[in-house]
């Protein structure tokens, strides 16, 4: 009985580790990374090895009081990494969403 408990515990910890590793494998970054300036250019980078050699669509939203949406398409290389640029809109904030990645939110000055 003791050894079956250890096996189940090990399996649970391993599954949690694998889930955490796969969640971290999809990453979106925006540069500059602290705040954006309306009218300037931001570089959006995305990494997802499972989508290597494919195009991904990044959704950018913002606007107040009426929400607005824009998209950019990024071509990923053979390692699943790519980047594109976006001209920063005259919004208060920008929200960047990409497949499987945690969203990024930045203020716009």
Domains of the chain: 26-107 (2.60.40.10)
**Sign of torsion over alpha carbons 86, 90, 93, 97:** negative
Average pLDDT estimate for 88-100: 97
Q: Is the peptide bond before 109 cis (omega within 30 degrees of 0)?
A: no
Interval 28-40: pLDDT, tens: 999 999 999 999 9
Q: In angstroms, rounded to a whole number, what is the distance separating the alpha carbons of residues 40 and 37?
A: 6
Interval 26-77: pLDDT, tens: 999 999 999 999 999 999 999 999 999 999 999 999 998 999 999 999 999 9
Confidence of residue 25 (pLDDT cuts 50, 70, 90): confident
CA distances from 58 to 2, 21, 79, 96 (A): 49, 22, 18, 7
State the Cα angle at 9 between 7 and 13, rounded to 5°: 115
């Amino acid at each position: 009985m003791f050894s079956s408990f250890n096996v189940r515990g090990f399996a649970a910890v391993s599954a949690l580790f694998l889930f955490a590793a796969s969640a971290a494998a999809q990453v979106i970054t925006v540069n500059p990374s602290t705040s954006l300036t309306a009218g300037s250019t931001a570089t959006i980078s995305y990494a997802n090895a499972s989508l290597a050699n494919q195009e991904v669509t990044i959704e950018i939203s913002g606007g107040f009081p009426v929400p607005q949406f824009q998209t950019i398409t990024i071509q990923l290389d053979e390692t699943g990494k790519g980047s594109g640029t976006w001209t920063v809109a005259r919004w208060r904030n920008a929200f960047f969403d990409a497949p499987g990645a945690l969203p990024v939110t930045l203020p716009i000055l």
